[in-house]
Chains A and B, each alone.
Chain A
Amino acid sequence: MRRAVNRMPLPMKDMSLSTFLKGAAIAGLMTLVISLVMVNIDWLGPVYSSEKEDIVTLLNVMIVLSSLVFSIVMVMMVYAIWKYRAKPGDESDGEPIHGNTRLEIIWTAIPTVIVIFAGVYSTIVLNDIEAKADNGKIMEVDVTAQQFAWRFDYPEQGVTSTELHVPVGTQLDLHLNALDVIHSFWVPEWGIKRDLVPGADLPGGDDIDDTVTVTPTEEGVFSVVCTELCGWGHATMRAAAVVESQDDFDAWAADQTKIPDEEDVSSGVPGGKGAGVFDDRDLTDD
């Protein structure tokens, strides 16, 4: 078979360099405007953790790159529609251009470079997010979810609570476990999220990545939101996340109930539909 030869010298036969430059300028301007507007909008809501700050930077870089891609596509499309629209009654055909190897290589190679850049950059940000705190202040919290309630155990303080109280500026190592179905831990202001998987604490759950870290940077009261569908009460499965000063936290911890020796898992809100089934297969029976 003969090698495909491009007989046509350019993909756009009658397009002059100045037209091309005008198009490029419009696409560039459009990118600039879209990027400036979009980067200045507070898409991700309040940024109250050091992890989320990295995510916001990454989003802004992606907004600029995406605006560029979107602008190029739109300018090409609108120009083509404006320029090459057939006159009424014109039944002739377009130019028999079958391709242009150089151009095809370009639009294969450039996106490849862009996505590999995006991949490498994301990996760096991911490593930053998951790095340990610089100041070494780390607090462990065991988070347990069940339909449709949260429980937070503080092994160092020896207390348990249905609210998540944390001192500001301290890195939290959250150990996640679920008693019935999969739930997911998310505080939108912190920007981190991880599923709570039933069986994570069992011997068979060693492969489950059940620890997530976050360093809250602002004081306030937020919501722990369940983001994995868990049944009829999913939409309202919330707990308060209170970020406070170290002193306030210590005072709070001193007031809380001690963790009972034998974990009483039957407390908490009973399940809805199918609850009986989950009781039969209580995962902490071992």
Chain B
Amino acid sequence: MVAALKNPGMPRAGLGFLIGGLFGFGLVVALRAVSGLEIFQTEATGYPHVIVPGITAPIGFLIGLGCFDYWFRWASGAPTIPDDHSQHGAYSWKDYFKFNTDHKVIGIQYVVTTFCFFMIGGLLAMLMRAELAQPGTQIVDPGVFNSLFSTHAAIMIFLFIVPVFAGLANYVLPLMIGAPDMAFPRLNALSFWMLPMAGVLFMASFLAPGGAFDAGWTGYAPLSTGAPLGQSFFNLGVQFAGASSVATALNFLVTIVTMRAPGMNFWRMPLLVWANLSTSLLVVGATPFIAGAQFMVLMDRAIGTNFFQAAAGGDVISYQHIFWFYSHPAVYIMMLPGFGIVSEVISTHARKTIFGYRLMAIALLGIVILAFAVWAHHMFVSGMFAWLRVPMMITTLLIAVPTGIKIFSWLGTLFDSKLHIESTSMLFALGFLVTFVIGGISGVMLGMIPLDIHVSDTYFVVAHIHFVLFGGSVFTIFCGFYHWFPKMTGRMYDERLGRIHFWMTLVGMLGTFIPMHWIGMEGMPRRVADYAAQFGNWNLVITIFSFILGVAQLIFVYNMVVSWRFGPKAGDNPWRAKTIEWLVSSPPPVFNFDEIPRVVGGPYEFGVPGARHAIMHDGDGATVSGPEPAVAGAASGGGGGEGGGS
């Protein structure tokens, strides 16, 4: 018992959580007593004796879990414990509940945790749709309804879509670039463990007096600055999710820049690596802004600053500028990794190299740059200074160009290919092309100021974001789940169940979100618990399809859980893909590679006789150490020396 509380692990984490919480609570009580204030301040926006433990308890948990053991020893000058690799690999399910520095274990921790949040967020959505099936109030009162869509969005965005991509890339990316692990394994583990903390804070807000946060995931001031206590939990949860996101992005940047295998120049990186490089640049540049915005709201609430109090000289609209300066790039943070996944899957299952590989990579960087110059298109009707609207409209519309390049290049890849559409991952990739094009078109419409004036803050916007985030991001996430499931588990999933899952998801998705365009344009505002009777029929249709969508995900869960345990062995490379992660066993060895692979060509050299992307052993190298085929060299840009170097 004592040993369990002394060594890093869940018991000590629990203790740390308790001590951290008590410390925060005691600090507030002591400071208020010393200052002669009443001990418990329980204004709606107050509760310092809850907010401060909301910061210290999670930090106590992380310390207890062992996230900082190495760093504390190093910082205090104590002898550090030599790494005995006990924090690598997972040998039983219990190892997933420990501080583990193995990128593959962290990847699975991420994916499973975030998927649990996906199910929770989905349940909240089902509740909302049940309420909206008929006009009037049946199931939840309007205040609870506001909490439902706020927590739904916050959980889906901050705890599912953003981190699940980090999780997939965590598993796959080091393998893809031939690295033994991420550049900063301890930081990587810390990044993961901050996520459950954000989740606990979001969920705990349901217990707060006044209910869970209900100002929308956008949390516009001054609605948020005056909201009940639950809002503070959102402000704090975003800090943990955001810190996790930034730390992971830094980790990816350093890993990608410094840890690529010999021979892998930038033009030989798989597009998933390019996508995560681009995403990480966005995260590092943008995420601090939402952390700042939420801290400013928290300070307005708790310590009486007046950032967003107009009467006290604050600027109400500035909240929206700071918020969207993160939250628009966030859309690309949630989409670019998906572009990477789709590129891998389409190339593999079309048995063909990506059409216009270099332009695909450049388009990603183009989106990164434009992403920072479009945020105010969320504010065309906000009353911000009018002159900013047209420039922001032009930059917004221009984003369609690099996005279009990607769509057409994927389509180009399909031509003269050997298309295999039996696997579920490819179905999701093709389904993504359809749904994402629709989402892109409605995005262009929303980008045009006159149309936006009419449909802004209506169900048209709800339809658009779900076409982009469900038809875009979630489709690519499933695409990635199915594609790398054999690599992660060493087992194959059931393709038949996968296909049922795909078709039900596609039908449910289209049936749920297409009619939302119509009722939005007709006049139904978003974020309403009740609506005019004229929209009743369509809302019933939407609710029915949304339940189909919900049930489809249970099939996915069943397929994954049962296949993980009982699926047939998958083999090292069931898709006959070319990138490096498929050259190692499934699941890969604890340290990924016995020998660091050598990269000798582009990542997708299908159909080029003799071309290889990478070789694992020098013995193999003999066959390809001669001059490379001209086509491979020309396309990968790696022509010249590296390939034939040995």
A and B from one assembly?
Answer: yes
A200 CA / B311 CA spacing, docked (Å):
10
- The residues in A between 212 and 229 inclusive whose CB is less than 8 angstroms from any CB of B are 223, 225-229
- The residues in B between 511 and 539 inclusive whose CB is less than 8 angstroms from any CB of A are 518, 521-523, 525-532
Instruction: Flag B395-432 by CB within 8 Å of A: 1 or 0 each.
Output: 00110110011011101101111111100000000100
Q: Say whether, besides A92-B418, A99-B635, A116 and B397 are in contact (CB < 8 Å).
A: yes
Instruction: Flag B17-47 by CB within 8 Å of A: 1 or 0 each.
Output: 0000000000000000000000000011100
Most buried by A among B215, B416, B530, B634: B416
- For A91, list chain B residues within 8 Å (CB): 576
A285 CA / B311 CA spacing, docked (Å):
8
Number of chain A residues whose Cβ lies closer than 8 Å to a Cβ of chain B: 108
- The residues in A between 45 and 81 inclusive whose CB is less than 8 angstroms from any CB of B are 45, 52, 54-55, 58-59, 62, 66, 69-70, 73-74, 76-77, 80-81
Pick from B111-119, B180-188, B451-459, B489-497 the stretch touching chain A.
B451-459
Pick from A136-144, A155-163, A190-198, A243-251 the stretch touching chain B.
A190-198
Q: Does A265 contact B (CB under 8 A)?
A: no
Number of chain B residues whose Cβ lies closer than 8 Å to a Cβ of chain A: 109
A271 CA / B448 CA spacing, docked (Å):
35
- For B390, list chain A residues within 8 Å (CB): 119, 123, 126
Contacting pair A85 B421 (CB below 8 A): yes
Most buried by B among A45, A85, A129, A229: A229
Q: Does A9 contact B (CB under 8 A)?
A: no
- For B171, list chain A residues within 8 Å (CB): none
Contacting pair A77 B434 (CB below 8 A): yes
Contacting pair A11 B310 (CB below 8 A): no
Min C-beta distance of B123 to chain A, whole Å: 22
A276 CA / B417 CA spacing, docked (Å):
66
Q: Does A33 contact B (CB under 8 A)?
A: no
A182 CA / B390 CA spacing, docked (Å):
23
- For A129, list chain B residues within 8 Å (CB): 450, 453
A44 CA / B630 CA spacing, docked (Å):
56
Interface residue from B430, B532, B576, B607 paired with A96 (Cβ < 8 Å): B607
Min C-beta distance of B641 to chain A, whole Å: 10
Contacting pair A94 B418 (CB below 8 A): yes
Pick from B194-202, B233-241, B376-384 the stretch touching chain A.
B376-384
Min C-beta distance of B216 to chain A, whole Å: 5
- For A95, list chain B residues within 8 Å (CB): 352, 416-417, 607
Interface residue from A15, A192, A286 paired with B454 (Cβ < 8 Å): A192
Interface residue from A99, A230, A272 paired with B358 (Cβ < 8 Å): A99
- For B382, list chain A residues within 8 Å (CB): 182, 195, 197
Q: Does A4 contact B (CB under 8 A)?
A: yes
Interface residue from B314, B453, B526 paired with A55 (Cβ < 8 Å): B453
Q: Does B87 contact A (CB under 8 A)?
A: no
Q: Does B68 contact A (CB under 8 A)?
A: no
Min C-beta distance of B357 to chain A, whole Å: 7
Q: Does A283 contact B (CB under 8 A)?
A: yes
Can you list 8 residue pairs at the A/B interface with Cβ under 8 Å?
A14-B416, A43-B518, A44-B521, A73-B437, A99-B358, A115-B400, A182-B316, A226-B525
Q: A192-B454, A199-B316 are in contact. List 7 more A-B contacts (CB 8 A).
A: A55-B451, A77-B433, A84-B416, A94-B350, A231-B214, A273-B228, A286-B311
